[in-house]
Amino acid sequence: MPDVTGYRAKMGVIVPSTNTVVEHDFNAMRPHGITFHTGRMHIARPVLGSDEDFEDLLLQLRESIGVAVRDVLTTEPDYMVMGMSAETFWGGTAGNAAFEERIQRMSGGLGVTTGASACRAGLEALGARRIAVLSPYQPIADANVTQFFTEAGGSTNFSHLQLDDQVVAARGETDAAAQIEAWKQINIEILKNFAGYGILYTNQVYARQPNVDYGHELISVPQLYPGYNETTTITA
């Protein structure tokens, strides 16, 4: 019997327990008849202040991913999606392939999409080889991202936008006009780093797969969501 809301496909999505963005973004770009069901990897130490902290985060993910996959499989999904990209870049292309194989085994053979594979597919669709990466990661993670894209046939240049202090100040601003101006300046600084270049947002490129037909041309633009509409179809 088809699922009432996910009558076209049900996607099992694995995210860290601390993540508050992936579910929102996936549901915001969800076609009719496609549903996303989340399993969470428990993160007891959500600290990312150093390379060591970052590696500890990945250790926590690896320890808890089995439970997350187990739980989401009770929804009987048709496909699996890794909703956290860093782990999928770790170890380059071989590391990503091994991760996908692991999830396939854990899920009983379901297909799986990762951030690394989705980015690669999106860049190949655009014919892009030299890319700039806007990264929130620590240097050890950037090294793995560079390894992945280099092995995939590209080259990377990283940009770390140091806007944390400005964001904190904008959030705490009590004068409405001053707060608007603060956010304006933050967005200007962001735009300076990518204006004129096609943008691939990680959650967006999950959909850049051969089994997705948007029903219209999809051009990379500085927006968070791809152009899903009633003409979009997803095949198994």
pTM over cut 0.85: no
> Looking at residue 73, which CATH number applies to its domain?
3.40.50.12500
**pLDDT number for residue 138:** 82
4 lies in a domain?
A: no
Same domain, 70 and 167: no
| Residue 197 pLDDT > 60 | no
152 in the same domain as 59:
yes
Decide if 47 is inside a domain: yes
Q: How many other C-beta atoms are found inside a 10 Å radius of the C-beta of residue 112?
A: 21
Of 103-107, 113-117, 131-135, 201-205, the one with minimum mean pLDDT is 201-205
Q: What are phi and psi of 108, to 5 degrees?
A: 80, 25
pLDDT of amino acid 223: 46
- Please tell me whether residues 185 and 83 are part of one structural domain: no
Do 23 and 69 share a structural domain? Answer: yes
* Residue 221 pLDDT greater than 50, yes or no: no
Question: Do 86 and 189 sit in the same domain of this protein?
Answer: no
pLDDT at 149 over 80: yes
Domain shared by 45 and 151, yes or no:
yes
Same-domain check for residues 119 and 209: yes
Q: Identify whether 46 is part of a domain.
A: yes
Which amino acid is located at 62 in the chain? R
The predicted structure's pLDDT at residue 124 = 85
Is residue 185, in this structure, part of any structural domain at all? yes
Q: Identify the domain containing residue 179 by its residue range.
A: 161-195
Transcribe the chain into DSSP letters.
Answer: ---SS-SSEEEEEEEETT--SHHHHHHHTPPTTEEEEEEEE--S----SSHHHHHHHHHHHHHHHHHHHHHHHTT--SEEEE---HHHHTTHHHHHHHHHHHHHHHTTS--EE-HHHHHHHHHHHHT--EEEEE--S-HHHHHHHHHHHHHTT-EEEEE----HHHHHHHHH--SHHHHHHHHHHHHHHHHHHHTTS----HHHHTT-STTEE-SS-----S-SS----TT-EE--
Is 1 within the bounds of a domain?
no
